[in-house]
Every structure is written in structure tokens, then in C-alpha cells.
Amino acid sequence: MMSKPGVSGVRPGLTLAVVAVVQFMVSLDVSVVNVGLPQIATGLGFGAANLAWVIHAYALTFGGLLLLGGKAADRYGRKPVLLLGLGLFGLASLGGGLAQEPGQLVAARTVQGIGAAALAPAALALLTATFPTGRARVRAFGVWSATNAAGGAFGVVIGGVLTQYASWRWVMLVNVPMAACALALAWRGVAAAPPTARGSRPDVLGAVLATAGMTLLVFGVVRTDRYAWTSPVTLTTLAVAVALLAAFLHTERTTAREPLIRLGLFANRSVAGANAFNLLVGAAMTPAFYFTSLYLQEILGKGPALTGVMFLPFTFGLIAGSVAAVKLGYRLPPRTLLIVGGLLTAVGLAWFGLISTDGAFTTDVLGPSIVASIGFGLCLGPVVSIATGGVAPHETGTASGLLNSSRQIGASLGLAALGTAAHHRTGRTPTLDALNDGYALGLTLGAALLAAAILIALTVLRRTSPPKHAEQTQDRNLLTTHD
């Protein structure tokens, strides 16, 4: 049985349980907050433009520090980094649930992102080391994939039920018992293996410069609701952001002994194209969730619990698209699946852009949800396969981590840009018609971003052939690209 400890003291069953709880919790936290946003705004006094920082704070720190978290796990040991991440995540969730003003909640979400950036790669590295080969590895990654999907899928439902029947605070507090459970299991059941990498310290300076630069960039864009694009405040903020990002590139190229990312990796067209595609998809899909949640509650007047249930068709479509991608992957090149999936997703978001104040779930939300979700699901597996294809074995983990970072950073940049555009369209008098026009514009712009992603897939990514006689190989690659 997997639960028996081996000679090294490793207890595979407990390790798998820890990783499953961690992955469910991290995936849940990405989606559970969305449905509670209107109640969070009312409860803490968030302004319309500042509400998105509940999402930005988590996405920017999680995406910006994810590679550093993986390097730290290798350098200092997976178990210590996992325990540290779980502790930070649990305490931040408690602090967010007890927040009394907007700044406190944003600070808690920031620390949550830092904790997630530490625990997510450490947990996945533990899973990889504990189940290196064979059927046990396939089963373990099957559990990991299932909990990953379940967390994101049911996050909106859980968030809606908690918000309506308990309080919006429970979308934060729900993480506390899960983090405590995972912490207890990891403390007792995960062996303290020695670090896998020794030598120079991880590139903390590079991670800080990148995260600070992206945060200032988002801040500068969001603040255009108060300061014009040509105002000294906006220009100075954006200039400092660009300077920080330039300093990050200089650090990675010249001074870092162990850089977060080898910049030469982007010379690989598959890596560069897949990450650009992924960034644009994240920039379109996260705002789509944001606007659709607000549309259902603010315009159609649905309660949080019912809003969460109304997201289920998107969840089921996402699962169907992901399964179809695996089946079609034996016959079609990954690039083709990206283009087809991107087209379907763009059509779905453009359809979403036709929402109206006298609309209904069945006419304005259900159809677009199914089309967009199937398209999105078709993209998920192929983009991972392309991003890690042709990469040296010792850089596969870095390429996979980079892909996760690009989606999180794209999510925050997209929400900043599209949210700002929607806010400007709404104007200073947020009537139902004005709000609807703002949400519709944001969703339509999301479709435009997906059109740009398709263009990148067509022009940057090379034509390839589908795998031949490689069903088992492809299944194994789909698993190991998560490493």
C-alpha cells in the first residue's frame, strides 16, 4: 500500500494527502473570492476601481514569486518551505477574514500570494520525488489533477454559498482549517529530505524587482481613474515600473549567480510563443470571471449562492474541453488545438459582450459560458505541452513554472487594463445601464485579447505534427509537464 513508510521514512499516502489538500486550497482561493466581491465591497467600503485589488494582490505576488518559491524549495528543502508557505497562507487567510478595512484585506491577500508561491512548487516537487515512476506516479498525478480541477470548479459555488448563508469573511476563513490540516499532516507525514540543490542563494533581488515592477505597472494603470494618462503622477508611476522591470532584466542577465529564469530560454520560439499566448489568455479570462460575477449579481440581481451555481456550466464545459484536448491530441498538433480553442473562447467572450440590463441567464450567460469554457479547456493541455517542448530536461520545471507565472501576471494586467476601461465607460454615475455597458466593454476587449493570442499562435509557434504511436508517451508528458 502507498501509505506504508519506506526505508527512508517517506510515507507516500500522507504525502499525497498533503499535496491534495494544498492543491485544492490554492485552486479554491483563485476562484472562491470572485462571487463574494460585491459583498466585500459593501462590507469594507471598497471603491469600484479599487475592488479589483482583492484579486491583484494575490495574483501578482503568487505569479511574481512562484519561480523563487521553486528555487527556495530546491535550495532549503521542500518540507521547510512547504511548512513556511502553509503557515503564511493560513495566518493570512485568518487576517483577511478578520479585516476591518480595505487595506487590511489587500495586505492579507498579498501575504496569501507569498505563501502560495512557496507552498505550491514545494508540494508539487514533493509529489514528483515521492512518486518518481510507474503506476503509482500516474495515480498520484491523477489525484493532483482532480483536486486542482475540483478546487477551481467548486470555488465559485463554495464562495457563493458561504457569502450568502454565512458571511463574505468565510471565503477567506475557509482556508484556515484546510491549511491547519495540511500543516499537521506535513509535519508528521512528510520526510525531511535534504535539499536537492546547493550553492548560491536563490535570486531574491530579481523576484522582488519583478514583482514590484509589475505591481507598480498595474497600480499606474488602475489609478488612471483619478489621474489622466498624461498626468505627472501616472507618467512617473509607469516610468518607475519600467525602470524596475529593466533592472530585473539586467540582474538576470549579468549579476544573478542563480537567476530565476535564464533569459536565453525565450530564444526558444515554443517557450516565448506559449507564454505570450498564456499571458493573453489569463488577461482575458480572469476579467471575464470578474465581470460575469458582477453582471449576475449587480445587473440581474442574483444572490451569491445562485451566482455560484450559474458558473457550473462553465466548469463542466472546461472539463469537457480538457478531455477533448487529450483525445484530439493524438490526431492534431498542439498548435492547431490552441488556435481552435482560442477561436471558440474568443467567440464566447464576444457573445458575452452582448449582455443587456433586461437579459437573463439562459439568453446572456449560459450559451457564452459553454462555448468559452470548451475553448478554454482545449487550450490548457496543449499550451503546457508546447511551452515545455524542446526544452532541456533540467529546465523543464523552470519552463512549467514560468507558464504558471505568465498566466497569473496576465490575469492581473488584464484585470487592470480591462477593469479600468470598464470603469471609464461606466462613468461617475453607476446606473444599471452604465454598469452593464462597462461590463460589456470589458468582455468584448477580452475577446480582442484572445484574437491577439490566436495571432501569436499563428505567427510565432511552428507547425508540428501530432504524435505518432505515442498515446502512453503523451499521457506521461501531460503529467510530467506539471512537475
Q: pLDDT (tens digit, 9 = 90+) per residue, 456-481?
A: 999 988 776 665 544 444 444 444 34
What integer is the mean pLDDT of 79-108? 93
The b-or-e profile of 218-250 (16+ CB within 10 A means b, else e) is bbbbbbbeeeeeeeeebeebbebbeebbebbee
* Residue at 373 is within a domain: yes
Q: CA 287 from chain center: how many Å?
A: 12
Nearest-10 crossing angle of helices 366-388, 269-294: 160
* Domain span including residue 214: 204-256
Q: Do 97 and 134 fall within a single domain?
A: yes
Q: Do 219 and 306 fall within a single domain?
A: no
Percent of the chain residues past pLDDT 90, beyond the cut: 26
Number of domains in the chain: 3
Q: Do 131 and 190 fall within a single domain?
A: yes
Asked if 349 contacts 365 with a C-beta cutoff of 8 angstroms, the reply is no
Compute the distance between CA of residue 322 and CA of residue 306 in angstroms, rounded to an integer: 25
* Residue at 1 is within a domain: no
Question: Which ranges of 295-426 does DSSP label H, i.e. alpha helix?
Answer: 304-310, 312-328, 334-352, 366-388, 396-426
Q: Do 345 and 314 fall within a single domain?
A: yes
Compute the distance between CA of residue 91 and CA of residue 86 in angstroms, rounded to an integer: 8
Closest CA to 217 of 417, 65, 55: 417
User: Which bin fits 191, alpha (ψ -120 to 50), beta or left (φ > 0)?
Assistant: beta
pLDDT tens digits, one per residue of 97-136: 999 999 999 999 999 999 988 888 888 777 777 777 667 7
Enter the pTM of the model.
Answer: 0.80
Q: Do 228 and 372 fall within a single domain?
A: no
pLDDT tens digits, one per residue of 343-385: 999 999 999 999 999 989 998 999 999 999 999 988 877 887 7
pLDDT tens digits, one per residue of 281-331: 989 998 998 899 889 999 999 988 898 889 889 888 888 888 888 788 778
Question: Which ranges of 166-203 does DSSP label H, i.e. alpha helix?
Answer: 170-173, 175-189
* Residue at 20 is within a domain: yes
Place of cell 497569473: 408
Place of cell 475553448: 375
Compute the distance between CA of residue 3 and CA of residue 10 in angstroms, rounded to an integer: 9
